[in-house]
Structure 1
């Protein structure tokens, strides 16, 4: 087996027509609040705002992923890094939902269609992050656009952890929380809040 190392941005990783498969032998999702918060701190620490309210972004190494599969294959199995990749997917979906709340559906749909879902060669929809085990909670409660919440309450410790990570990241992207982080940039209206969300999207995902 040949091994290859590549440097990829989040955009390059998710926007291609690939399925990232979590094999059955992988441990369940278990990131703690502190681990999710560490990822969040990594994201926001790379955004600098000048006195003139100009944004500057720093490059950041988000971590290593070990994938198995042919370069030309549509499916790649995750050997190492599934906890991080799952959390990144949850973060991207939380960002999508924040754009929905401020009615920027154009950007929200672009995020969803580029980084959460895709279409295969037959035109069928699929999620870019999938699990070989029958664990639909991530899809039904978080990734699906149309949810049936009453049927999707967490039933296991893993499902509770997934939902907790989502709620934590969604809350971190609120206007109030971002105001506490970026104290020199007033988020006193929807326009400034949208601008900051766009900068987070550009810095972390779409660059």
Structure 2
């Protein structure tokens, strides 16, 4: 995988898995998010602050490190908690948009590139959490 400038470019056409030696997803959240230091709350607060700022540069999600398994299959070595959170966020975002209105063609394409196209999941968690993640987060 070449260095990417966007999450969509990183995920589109690829399949990223969390290897079994990685720990399972463990970021928490709190109901009162204003002053929370829980990772998910900080992530969402950062996105909100960026969205309301007058920043001219793209939002920086941090770096990710991958091991190439095949030309289109990668194992995430570093950044899997952030990447899992991003996929959960994107899945929830597209689900909410779809509940409000019909997705536009670019939104459908973005969802297929970043979350799931037909039966191909762009990201899969560790094997012992994989089916639960697919059933309850993505589908």
TM range (shorter): 0.7 to 0.9
**Contact 1:46-1:58 at 8 Å conserved across structures:** no
Match of 2:32 in 1: none
Which consecutive residues of structure 2, in runs of 5 or more, have no partner in the other structure? 30-37
Q: CA deviation at 1:56?
A: 6.7
Match of 1:11 in 2: 8
- Which structure exhibits the higher relative contact order, with contacts defined as CA atoms closer than 8 Å and separated by 6 or more residues? 2
Alpha-carbon RMSD:
2.5
TM-score, normalisation: structure 1: 0.55
Q: 2:40 aligns with which of 36, 39, 52?
A: 36
**Contact 2:66-2:78 at 8 Å conserved across structures:** yes
Q: CA deviation at 1:12?
A: 1.2
Match of 2:62 in 1: 63
Q: Please state whether the residue corresponding to 2:104 is helix, strand or coil.
A: helix
Would you say how many aligned residue pairs link Structure 1 and Structure 2? Answer: 129
C-alpha separation between the residues in 1 aligned to 2:122 and 2:2?
21
Which consecutive residues of structure 1, in runs of 5 or more, have no partner in the other structure? 50-54, 120-124, 145-207
TM-score, normalisation: structure 2: 0.79
C-alpha separation between the residues in 1 aligned to 2:65 and 2:59?
18
